[in-house]
Amino acid sequence: MSRPAGPAEAEVQGSAVPSPSVPSGSQVAARVWRAGRVWLIVASLLMILGALALFRPAPTGGALHPESARPAGGMAIAEVLRGQGIRIHHADSADQALELAQEHPEATLLFHDPAGLLPDQGLDRLAEGTDPARRVLVEPDLAQIRALATGITTGPGLTPSEEPLTAGTDCALPLARQAESMVRDGRLYRGGTGCFNGIAAPAGEVRPAHGVVRSDDGTWVIGSAQVFANAGAADHGHPVVALWTLGQGEDVIWYLPTLADVPVGEAPTNPSDLLPAWVGPVIWWLVVCALVLMLWRGRRHGPLAIEPLPVVVPSSETAVGRARLYQSTGQAGAAARSLHQATRLRLARLQRLGRGATAPALSSAVAAVTGQDPAAVAHLLDESTVDSNAALVDRARALQGLEQSVHAALGAAGPAQPAPPAHPTDLSTQDPRGPETTP
């Protein structure tokens, strides 16, 4: 019977083992490919997506852009105007719009700046360089109203609804009477001559708010961009409003301010500047707490230990590790299976039945040798009846007593048996090969 090698022998064996050979170039390449293929695939996908985004044609324009076919674009109205012989001149900046206004003094100016990109200086220049009677302001804000529509003030906003605004019987604008209705969306305005009353005047005020207003100097103020957008150009009386306001002459300057109108010194505010002053320290404090938590809960590994191969691991260490695993997970059934398998193997060896002996044959042989009840022996050798740690301890003692009875009956005392285990962990540390092979 072989015995485990001692530490000295293990050291000698380890020193006798030759060092591993240097891997070839193909082996190194295969290792590199296996280690980095996931990142290579991810990088390739990112490069493909970047190329698609770079070479994909950029969508034309934004809200009310005369060349945009999107729902928010203005291509539909622009094409209708072109069909009527009206020339559309698109302007991306105030300088371009003023230059076009000088070239076409009788042109109508459509102005739409929902983001407020044109600063006050640009609004003043636009007011000086264009004819008030030729302006059409689409959903302007307070600053734009003050600069471009004399005598008009902003009113409340409207909650979008399927119920439209109606011109009403007291409407004084022929445009509105012919259009009859418009979408309930956008903003309302007060002053001048207005129609499409959205909200009645409060007590003590004689000026209600309207969706379409014309100032005393002739500037049109349209409260909803849906009147000119592709998605709503054909709804309600929107075609009448659009053609009436933009079809006054032979040219339309379609001015939609862009970032080119924003002065360099007035760039948009950095979002981080809008955060409270305490946000930064709190973020750094959370980072420190996260690092402390990682150091506290993280696994602490010691330095790498160099150990020659092969390493001889005593079987007792493996048994103890498995027993602790069974104990930590509460696997009494798994420990019982290991215990019964080792017991059946030793009993079959004692009675020379061979490793392939069936459970009924083994139970009958043990009962015949010891004189016990075959049913009781079969129940004792059945691990399925163990369902708790207490039952496992009792079963271990019973199996040990059964083995001692077989030894006594056969006259083979064998080596001294170990004491009954006091805990399932101690039981699992026994080697299934039997006491004669335990190191």
CA–CA dist 236, 361 (Å, integer): 95
* Digit-coded pLDDT (tens) for 300-344: 666 677 777 887 888 888 888 887 888 788 788 888 888 888 888
pLDDT of residue 19: 44
Nearest Cα to Cα of residue 394 among 430, 421, 359, 432: 421
The neighbouring-strand residues paired with 153 are 190
At residue 268 the predicted structure's pLDDT band, cuts being 50, 70 and 90, is low
pLDDT of residue 39: 76
Domain count, the chain: 2
Judge whether 418 lies within some domain.
yes
Judge whether 192 lies within some domain.
yes
Q: Are residues 322 and 236 in the same domain?
A: no
Give yes or no for residue 112 having a pLDDT over 90: yes
Residue 291 corresponds to which tokens in the numbers above?
């690092």
Judge whether 34 lies within some domain.
no
Q: Are residues 360 and 251 in the same domain?
A: no
Residue 320 corresponds to which tokens in the numbers above?
């103890």
Count of alpha carbons within 13 angstroms of residue 154, beta-carbon side: 18
Cα Rg of the chain, angstroms? 46
Judge whether 201 lies within some domain.
yes
CA–CA dist 211, 176 (Å, integer): 10
* Digit-coded pLDDT (tens) for 186-242: 899 998 888 888 665 454 455 688 889 999 889 999 988 989 998 888 888 888 898
Q: Which of 89-103, 117-131, 268-282 has the lowest mean pLDDT?
A: 268-282
CA–CA dist 242, 176 (Å, integer): 11
Judge whether 54 lies within some domain.
no
Q: What percent of the chain has pLDDT over 90?
A: 18
Q: Are residues 248 and 171 in the same domain?
A: yes
* Digit-coded pLDDT (tens) for 76-109: 989 999 988 999 999 989 999 999 999 999 999 9
Count of alpha carbons within 13 angstroms of residue 432, beta-carbon side: 14
Range of the domain at 365: 315-437
Whether this model's pTM surpasses 0.75: no
Strands 220-222 and 135-138: parallel
Judge whether 299 lies within some domain.
no
Q: Are residues 258 and 339 in the same domain?
A: no
pLDDT of residue 37: 72
- Of 217, 236, 262, the one marking the end of a domain is 262
- Of 262, 278, 295, the one marking the end of a domain is 262
Handedness of CA 130, 132, 135, 139 (dihedral sign): positive
Judge whether 4 lies within some domain.
no
Q: Are residues 96 and 195 in the same domain?
A: yes
215 contacts: CB under 8 Å, gap ≥ 6:
132, 149, 150, 151, 152, 191, 192, 221
pLDDT of residue 204: 46
Angle at 79 between CA 73 and CA 81, to 5 degrees: 115
Give yes or no for residue 183 having a pLDDT over 50: yes
Q: Are residues 200 and 127 in the same domain?
A: yes
Nearest Cα to Cα of residue 72 among 186, 149, 198: 186
State the chain's mean pLDDT as an integer: 79
Residue 358 corresponds to which tokens in the numbers above?
């069936």
Q: Are residues 368 and 245 in the same domain?
A: no
- Of 217, 244, 262, the one marking the end of a domain is 262
CA–CA dist 344, 359 (Å, integer): 8
CA–CA dist 438, 242 (Å, integer): 99
First to last CA, the chain: 11
Judge whether 6 lies within some domain.
no
